[in-house]
């Protein structure tokens, strides 16, 4: 049982080493909400941390950072307060206590992660041990944003391949698809390569998208809109490149539908997007039972969540490299000890909990606002 005293919500704005352009935005800094839970577990005082994946603007999903802070304070924390008054709060029951609130999965995920971090730190248990991870390192993939020109793209990809990244994911959008992918494939005939459209196409583009089949891609990720699971199934039948869903899979239930419809040969599991690490495990288990491959997606995580993603990706069903790059891919200064890639891999952390205690100076440097909410 966990007893939360207070929760500090901090909105942080962390500069990126270079702009990251996708079909939905160009980010020059990562805005996120860091959740700090000050609690007692079996009489011991402990602090847990979670990171909310919501961006500054609702352009990837409906959630956004300021909204996540608001819903957490106004609707999520009062429910956890009620649960702990009944003596019924554990990390494993956070999801059930928050179920009455519709959506807001990224806000819920961050809170569950912080409670789980506190609980595991109190127990002295690493997240990998808690999950039953079967590997001590995971292959690291890199996500390459849309560039200004093909030569610029080739430079960036060359640098990441030289750093040892095990697979490259190229962001695509209408007007930036066949030719950039062809150029990278010609320059790197053997590199494991995949593309991500972030819902930028419609089924009308099927003939164009089929041309990607020529480039021996591991998968094409989320070409169509979030709601278009059936249309993804139709497109999957028209292409030989395996279909992977990201935005469309928001829960184990939607993963089950996507698999049953033939819309997803592969699933990108992002803990934030699906409401947390525990739902991520349920999707992993479901996909594994169906023979559907999964990999761990990324949302420019800081050290508060990067290691936890690596631990998740060390489960046996994660058979493809994840978007789990080194901290230096995005940040000059991370919030914790930076994650480095070694021999193309990220080590699965062995420290207790989901993350290290973040650096206090870094929190001050990046904070743009905060709120403290008392529960006890």
Enumerate the active-site residues. 171, 270
Output 98 or 146, the one with its CB closest to ligand NPG.
Answer: 146
Q: How many CA atoms lie within 13 A of 310 on its CB side?
A: 32
Distance CA 124, CA 2 (A): 15
Cα–Cα dist 187/305, whole Å: 33
CA distance from start to end of the chain: 14
Total residues in contact with ligand NPG, by rule CB under 6 A: 14
Residue 175-214 contact track with ligand NPG, rule CB under 6 A, x = bound: ---------------------x-x----------------
* Six token digits for residue 123: 């127990």
Q: Which is nearer to ligand NPG, 60 or 176 (CB)?
A: 60
The count of other CB atoms within 10 Å of the CB of residue 255 is: 26
**CA proximity to 270, closest of 293, 303, 294:** 294
Site for ligand NPG in 276-335 (CB under 6 A): 297-301, 323, 325
The residue within the footprint of ligand NPG, chosen from 143, 254, 280, 327 (CB under 6 A), is: 143
CB of 308 to ligand NPG, least distance (A): 13
The nearest distance, CB 297 to ligand NPG, in angstroms, is: 5
- In the complex, what is the shortest distance from the CB of residue 145 to ligand NPG, in angstroms, rounded to a whole number? 8
- What is the footprint of ligand NPG within residues 236-275 (CB under 6 A)? 246
Residue (of 64, 66, 91, 68) closest to 80 by Cα position? 91
Distances, alpha carbon 258 to alpha carbons 124, 217, 218, 229, in Å = 38, 21, 19, 6
For residue 345, the minimal CB distance to ligand NPG (Å) is: 15
64 binds ligand NPG (CB under 6 A): no
Task: CB nearer to ligand NPG: give 112 or 246.
Answer: 246
Q: How far apart are CA 293 and CA 96, in angstroms?
A: 27
Provide, rounded to whole angstroms, the least separation between the CB of residue 124 and ligand NPG. Answer: 29
328 or 363, CB closer to ligand NPG? 328
Kindly tell me which residue out of 7, 37, 55, 89 binds ligand NPG, with binding defined by CB under 6 A: 55
Half-sphere exposure of 158 (CA within 13 A, CB side): 9
Which residue lies nearer to ligand NPG by CB, 55 or 71?
A: 55
Pairing of strands 345-347, 137-139: antiparallel
Least separation in angstroms between residue 34's CB and ligand NPG is: 16
To the nearest whole angstrom, how small is the minimum distance from the Cβ of residue 35 to ligand NPG?
18
C-beta closer to ligand NPG: residue 65 or 209: 65
Q: Two tokens at 141?
A: 């993939």
Triad 221, 223, 224: Cα angle to 5°? 130
Query: What Rg value do the Cα atoms of the chain yield, rounded?
Result: 20
C-beta closer to ligand NPG: residue 324 or 375 = 324
Q: Which residue is nearest to ligand NPG (CB)?
A: 298
Decide: helix, strand or coil at residue 59: coil
Distance CA 108, CA 275 (A): 6
**Based on CB atoms, which residue is closest to ligand NPG, 122 or 156?**
156
User: ∠ at Cα 250 (302, 230), nearest 5°?
Assistant: 135
CA distance 61 to 107: 12
Residue 105, Cβ neighbours under 10 Å: how many? 27
In angstroms, what is the minimal distance from the CB of 300 to ligand NPG? 5
Length of the chain: 376
Given the rule CB under 6 A, which residues bind ligand NPG? 22, 55, 60, 143, 196, 198, 246, 297-301, 323, 325
């Amino acid at each position: 049982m966990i007893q939360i005293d207070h929760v500090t919500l901090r909105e942080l704005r962390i500069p990126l080493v270079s702009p990251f352009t996708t079909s939905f935005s160009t980010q020059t800094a990562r805005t996120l909400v860091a959740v700090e839970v000050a609690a007692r577990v079996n009489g011991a005082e402990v602090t847990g941390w979670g990171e909310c994946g919501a961006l500054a603007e609702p352009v990837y999903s409906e959630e956004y950072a300021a909204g996540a802070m608001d819903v957490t304070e106004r609707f999520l924390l009062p429910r956890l307060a009620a649960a702990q008054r009944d003596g019924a709060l554990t990390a494993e029951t956070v999801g059930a206590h928050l179920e009455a609130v519709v959506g807001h999965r990224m806000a819920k995920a961050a809170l569950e992660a912080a409670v789980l971090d506190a609980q595991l730190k109190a127990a002295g248990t690493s997240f990998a041990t808690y999950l039953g991870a079967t590997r001590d390192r995971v292959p690291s993939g890199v996500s390459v944003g849309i560039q200004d020109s093909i030569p610029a793209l080739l430079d960036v990809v060359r640098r990441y391949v030289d750093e040892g990244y095990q697979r490259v994911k190229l962001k695509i959008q209408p007007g930036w698809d066949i030719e950039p992918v062809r150029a990278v494939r010609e320059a790197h005939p053997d590199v494991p390569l995949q593309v991500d459209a972030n819902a930028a196409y419609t089924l009308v583009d099927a003939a164009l998208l089929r041309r990607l089949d020529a480039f021996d891609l591991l998968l094409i990720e989320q070409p169509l809109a979030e709601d278009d699971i059936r249309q993804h199934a139709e497109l999957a039948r028209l292409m030989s490149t395996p279909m992977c869903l990201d935005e469309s899979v928001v829960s184990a239930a939607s993963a089950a539908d996507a698999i049953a419809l033939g819309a997803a040969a592969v699933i990108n599991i992002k803990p934030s997007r699906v409401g947390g690490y525990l739902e991520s495990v349920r999707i992993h288990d479901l996909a594994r039972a169906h023979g559907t491959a999964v990999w761990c997606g990324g949302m420019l995580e800081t050290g508060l969540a990067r290691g936890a993603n690596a631990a998740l990706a060390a489960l046996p069903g994660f058979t493809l490299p994840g978007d789990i790059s080194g901290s230096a891919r995005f940040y000059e200064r991370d919030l914790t000890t930076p994650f480095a890639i070694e021999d193309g891999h990220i080590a699965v952390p062995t420290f207790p909990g989901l993350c290290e205690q973040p650096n206090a100076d870094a929190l001050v440097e990046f904070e743009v606002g905060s709120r403290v909410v008392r529960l006890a």
